[in-house]
Chains A and B, each alone.
Chain A
C-alpha cells in the first residue's frame, strides 16, 4: 500500500495569510493526487486533482504543486470560510489511500 504522510496535523493562521500543507507519498505517485476540503459536519469536497488542476468552482487562491513523492496545497489570502480539515489522497494505485488530515484554524 502507498502511505500518505501529511503535515502539519494542525495549523493556525491569520486572515489574509498564506498557508501551505504538505503530503509525502511512500513511493512515486506520478501526480495522481487530489486535495479535499472538509468543513465541520460536512462531506469532503474536491479542491485539486492531478496534483495541480483546480476543480470547477474552487477559488483561485487554492493551488496545488509537486511531483514524485512530494506534494503541497497552498492557500493564499486566507479567508474565514477556509476553516476546515484538508486531506490529500493518492489514486495512482490501489488501494486508494488518504493522508491523515490537517485541521486549519484562524488565529
Chain B
C-alpha cells in the first residue's frame, strides 16, 4: 500500500523560506520510473503543479516559481523535500505531495496523493 504524508511549519512570515517534507511508504525513489511531485491548492481554488523529482535525481520546476523552488530527496529515509524561498501571502495554500508512476515509457501519472499540509503566510 502506497502512502504519503506532508509536513510543514503551518504558519510562517513573509520573506521566510518554506520547508516541506513528504514522507512516504510502499515504494522507493530509487526504483526506475518512480518520482514524487509537489502540488498546491489555495483554499477554494484550483491545483498548481510546483515541481517533481525522479528516481535518477532529475528535477523539473514550474517556470512561474522556478527561481524560488528547490526539490530534493533522501532515498534511504523515503522522503522528498521542497523549499520555497521568499514567501508571501500568495503562497498560502494546502501543499500536496504525490507519487508519480510511469504508465508508458513517456507518460507519468500522479497515482497516489498525501493528505496535504496547510501553510499560511501571514505577518
Q: Is the CB of B63 within 8 A of A50?
A: no
Asked whether B67 is an interface residue with its Cβ less than 8 Å from the other chain, the reply is: no
Bound complex: CA A96 to CA B48 (Å):
8
Inter-chain contacts of A92 with B (CB < 8 A): 107
- Look across to chain A and name the residue whose beta carbon is closest to the beta carbon of B96: A43
Binds A, one of B12-20, B22-30, B80-88, B109-117: B109-117
Count the B residues whose beta carbon is within 8 Å of the partner chain — how many? 24
Q: Is the CB of A44 within 8 A of B47?
A: yes
Q: Is the CB of B109 within 8 A of A49?
A: yes
Q: Is the CB of B47 within 8 A of A43?
A: no
Bound complex: CA A101 to CA B46 (Å):
7
Bound complex: CA A75 to CA B46 (Å):
21
Asked whether A71 is an interface residue with its Cβ less than 8 Å from the other chain, the reply is: no
Q: Is the CB of A100 within 8 A of B46?
A: yes
Most buried by B among A34, A45, A50, A91: A91
Inter-chain contacts of B63 with A (CB < 8 A): 1, 95
Asked whether A89 is an interface residue with its Cβ less than 8 Å from the other chain, the reply is: yes
Inter-chain contacts of A49 with B (CB < 8 A): 103, 107, 109, 111
Q: Is the CB of B48 within 8 A of A98?
A: yes
Q: Mark B47-86, 1 if CB is under 8 A from A, else 0.
A: 1110010000000101110000000000000000000000
Q: Is the CB of A98 within 8 A of B46?
A: yes
Inter-chain contacts of B110 with A (CB < 8 A): 34, 36, 44, 46, 89
Asked whether A32 is an interface residue with its Cβ less than 8 Å from the other chain, the reply is: yes
Inter-chain contacts of B103 with A (CB < 8 A): 49-50, 53
A–B complex contacts, Cβ < 8 Å, 15 sampled: A1-B63, A32-B107, A36-B110, A43-B113, A44-B96, A44-B110, A46-B111, A49-B103, A50-B104, A50-B109, A95-B60, A96-B49, A98-B46, A99-B46, A101-B47
B residues neighboring A (CB under 8 Å): 37, 46-49, 52, 60, 62-64, 96, 103-104, 106-116
